[in-house]
Structure 1
């Protein structure tokens, strides 16, 4: 994304007068729709704080706030939201996050998870929220984002998403154990030089209407990629483990990078209610199938974070009607196994369940962990950064 400089000067305010990135965007946009105004007013300040805390330049902050305003805000539907989305546990159509990296990035990467909505989302005319999702894809193509590639999306959507006759045959059914109808979502990693787009699908309803198992659907998805993206060796290793522990019964969703297939990553997300260190260790090594010095070092880091957070062990379910304000609620472990062309071994990411825990303790644990792994500049001020975002 192009930008013109490090500061923005208010017209007529004299040389050297500067305003914040959010003020700069507010001065140059006009939002006439009442719902869009409400979405912008309630979410843009938080995104502005996230970008600032991740140390994006002044110009980058303006660029990405502008992108968010023009691209996401018009697609959030009525305010407050009526359709419970799959992108976040709370059902909101948005999720902001920050990805801290030890290597390869000059600063943390801000991310936006997003499910397009409209007035029709969740109604009889679009119960499964597919109309705005398909329309939004066309908008992404018109933006001409560098390296954005739709080939994998065009391959996966027919396999994972309900067509019209399948929607009709379901007669309003939803996946067992959830209150969501979501079918597809998007993610944006706000890189220094471009926006990295990710696609997500939730294929459980597709399996229900076709009678195909989740395991079989994943097998078909990967094997049908053919020469476009050969990652069969890694998939078979992962598949054997998931079959062994019955993980496909808890498979949540599927994700990929919207780039050239040979450079993309496929991610298989699931959840596990056995919140214990032994289960995390098993997930991390795929039941002992994957062993290496790098994997062992990663497990050491994970154990340090687990100990710092002091999470109580035990069973945790993912109940109906998750309420972000209900501190008694709990969530299971979420994880993903990632595969890509040219790598015969999957990699694993584990998302520790912190909902219902003491926020102060969790933030202090993450702050200390960042210092342990060499990111002192972010760990030292993390507690204040989080407080500033509230």
Structure 2
């Protein structure tokens, strides 16, 4: 079993404040221009980056899509640049983003920066897309983004749950063969199992500050060979209609997989532990995720969170309450404990009832057919920090005694240019 950490940085949500930086449309990359004065020759690097080049070429028919490209597209470009993607990879992914992501983000904010139309609950301020950056100890960086495709009639009587846009988007990618290895078997199975009927009304009583109770969010990991599509699915609304918990809803969906797939996942130890954690820690399962790959290659991710920050809670989460002992011969446990203490040292053992839902530390378990279980922790870093600078300072403290291959420097440069 392996352990990993995801520190969630709220500022990566691409918000309308990026408008004030739109005038800066170029990167300094490799290229030459020269000027001479007497016998002296000066050589400088002055070429435009892929985003700026595409920006001079692309013209969107929709003013809303143009807005999202100008703001979020620029953010995405800077992440790709600093994460070390080649120019060819940047052109490929930015073109895909322009064609298949920016036009799906709904209405642009109004003049005061307020969300209009469908409000996506995936980010703190309702921005419909969330960027992230994953790095590993070998120096590799993977940029990722997640968003909820927003249909023209989202939230109206003809599409109260915004179900139509995602189905159309996924079908379009499949028909045009835009994602390497894309397979929709699990997408069809789980959406049919856990999503409510299209005509069910979305009432405020089913929506809370952190998590939609129904619907899907699409996500892409930008691997160097091309994007990998993932889906996040929220089962809460149908579970409530059936009078069962979200965990029970997901348990049913997993157990209704074809028998060979269900047995290969070996999900029962995790499902048993989640039942125990619901009682012991008041854990709540809000969503689960899948890879849109053939089932033998796909992963299933089960997400939960609780308002606990004690070391006992952390170790219980990592070991499934003692069901799966950890390999203590590696540095992973000590690293995770140091990271946990760095960001949560001042927090009480149990967060107060009035703490925002996003403040509760979360965890998820990754299952794959015939693969070892992988538990992971994620934190909202900003809850225990005063500012973005404080978050970065703590990350620097953590990596000061650990190898990062300069990744923290590149990450900070990207953040400072974006924000």
TM-score by length of 1: 0.85
- Cα RMSD, aligned residues only: 2.9
Alignment of 1:41-56 (within 5 A): 41-56=70-85
Q: 1:39 aligns with which of 53, 56, 68?
A: 68
User: Aligned in 2, Cα 1:237/1:61: closer, same or farther, shift over 3 Å?
Assistant: same
* Alignment coverage as a number of residue pairs: 367
Q: 2:376 aligns with which of 324, 349, 357?
A: 349
Q: 1:143 aligns with which of 146, 156, 176?
A: 176
1:191 aligns with 2:223: yes
Within 1, Cα distance between the matches of 2:379 and 2:269?
Answer: 24
Deviation at 1:38, TM superposition (A): 1.3
- Where does structure 1 differ by over 6 angstroms across 4 or more consecutive aligned residues? 6-9, 317-320
Within 2, Cα distance between the matches of 1:295 and 1:161?
Answer: 43
Deviation at 1:311, TM superposition (A): 4.2
| Structure 2 residues not aligned, in runs of 5+ | 1-28, 33-44, 110-114
SS of equivalent residue, structure 2 residue 365: strand
Within 1, Cα distance between the matches of 2:145 and 2:296?
Answer: 24
User: Aligned in 2, Cα 1:295/1:262: closer, same or farther, shift over 3 Å?
Assistant: farther
CA contact (8 A) 1:316 1:330 kept: no
Deviation at 1:251, TM superposition (A): 0.7
2:122 — aligned with what? Answer: 87
| Structure 1 residues not aligned, in runs of 5+ | 1-5, 10-15, 323-328
User: Aligned in 2, Cα 1:157/1:298: closer, same or farther, shift over 3 Å?
Assistant: same
The one-character-per-residue Cα deviations of 1:235-280 (angstroms, maximum 9, x if unpaired) are: 1111121111217861110101111101111111111111233322
Deviation at 1:136, TM superposition (A): 1.0
Within 2, Cα distance between the matches of 1:260 and 1:114?
Answer: 22
User: Aligned in 2, Cα 1:123/1:296: closer, same or farther, shift over 3 Å?
Assistant: farther
Within 2, Cα distance between the matches of 1:233 and 1:66?
Answer: 36
User: Aligned in 2, Cα 1:330/1:139: closer, same or farther, shift over 3 Å?
Assistant: closer
TM-score by length of 2: 0.79
Within 2, Cα distance between the matches of 1:319 and 1:125?
Answer: 36
The one-character-per-residue Cα deviations of 1:205-229 (angstroms, maximum 9, x if unpaired) are: 0111223332332222222222452
2:98 — aligned with what? Answer: 69
SS of equivalent residue, structure 1 residue 55: coil
Q: 1:120 aligns with which of 135, 153, 175?
A: 153
Deviation at 1:353, TM superposition (A): 2.5
CA contact (8 A) 1:84 1:180 kept: no
CA contact (8 A) 1:93 1:115 kept: yes
Within 2, Cα distance between the matches of 1:28 and 1:8?
Answer: 20
